Amino acid sequence: MSSTRREGGAASADLTAQAKIRNAAIAHFARDGFQKTNVRTIAATAGVSPGLVIHHFGSKENLRAVCDDHVLRILTERAHGTSPAGMQALFGQYQSDPEEYHLYVRYMMRAIEEDTPAATTFVNTLVDGSEQILRDGIAEGSLRPSSDVRALAVLSVLISLATLTAPPPLARTLGFEQAGPGLLQRLGLPVLEIFTHGMYADDSILKAAQAVWHGAQESPQSPKGMND
């Protein structure tokens, strides 16, 4: 890209215009979404003319692709540095540096909502990693066996993402303006309680469900007709 300027720094001043534009775009995409963010706003935040944005990135769409890759790389690089299981990995990362991490998590959540290629890669990495950790934990004995480890992995990722990026209406039901460290801390204990004890006092509901499930699974034709 540039021959003489430095690249990849963290300070806001003293950055390549490309980097300033990219960072501004990431911030706005994360906060307001891709559609609601226009090129002029990004340019203004980056302290740059609108034309330069297109000059450097070709189009708004391509700028999004660059931002996607950038955030994806940051997120996956960090995820590789940790070991604990699925949710703990995400939560731990988050708690360690909420301010910066929250931006990237929100960005990725928006990407997931809009079904971007980078989002698919990210989710696949998360689910595959989670599944592996679950299998290891089950083999090791620290986790209970499951009838469907893959689905459990998906579920744990789903819960992690939902907890990290709870939409404002949900966050407000606990008195928070939006998802963040406060909400996460409030939800953390109930999550762990459920993950260790469950919430049902007995296993009657599970037993009933298992009976229906097994009955449906072992007969070639489903009892009620399942669509999709």
Instruction: Tell me which residues in 40-69 interact with DNA (CB under 7 A).
Output: 40, 47-56, 58-61
Binder of residue 127, out of DNA, a second copy, none (CB less than 5 to 8 A by kind): a second copy
* Residue 165 DSSP code: T
The CA angle 217-132-76, to the nearest 5 degrees, is 125
Alpha-carbon radius of gyration of the chain? 22
CB of 44 to DNA, least distance (A): 10
- Smallest gap from Cβ 104 to DNA, in A, equals 22
Binding status of residue 169 toward a second copy by CB under 8 A: yes
The piece of 10-18, 32-40, 49-57, 69-77 that touches a second copy (CB under 8 A) is 32-40
Q: Which tokens hold the place of 224? A: 């009620």
Would you count residue 124 as binding a second copy (CB under 8 A)? yes
Rounded-to-10 torsion of CA 193, 197, 202, 205: 70
Query: With binding defined as CB under 8 A, does residue 77 bind a second copy?
Result: no
Whole-angstrom Cα distance, residue 135 to residue 139?
Answer: 6
Stretch that binds DNA, among 37-45, 81-89, 168-176, 179-187 (CB under 7 A): 37-45
Work out what residue 189 binds among DNA, a second copy, none; the CB cut-off runs from 5 to 8 Å by kind: a second copy
| Rounded distance between C-alpha atoms, residue 166 and residue 172, angstroms | 10
Secondary structure of residue 169 in the 3-state scheme? helix
User: What is the rounded (10 degree) CA torsion for 159, 164, 170, 172?
Assistant: 150
Site for DNA in 161-190 (CB under 7 A): none
Of 8 and 145, nearer to a second copy (C-beta) is 145
Closest distance to DNA from the beta carbon of 17 (Å):
3
Contact 1, 16 (CB under 8 A): yes
98 binds a second copy (CB under 8 A): yes
Interaction site with DNA (CB under 7 A)? 1-2, 4, 16-18, 37-40, 47-56, 58-61
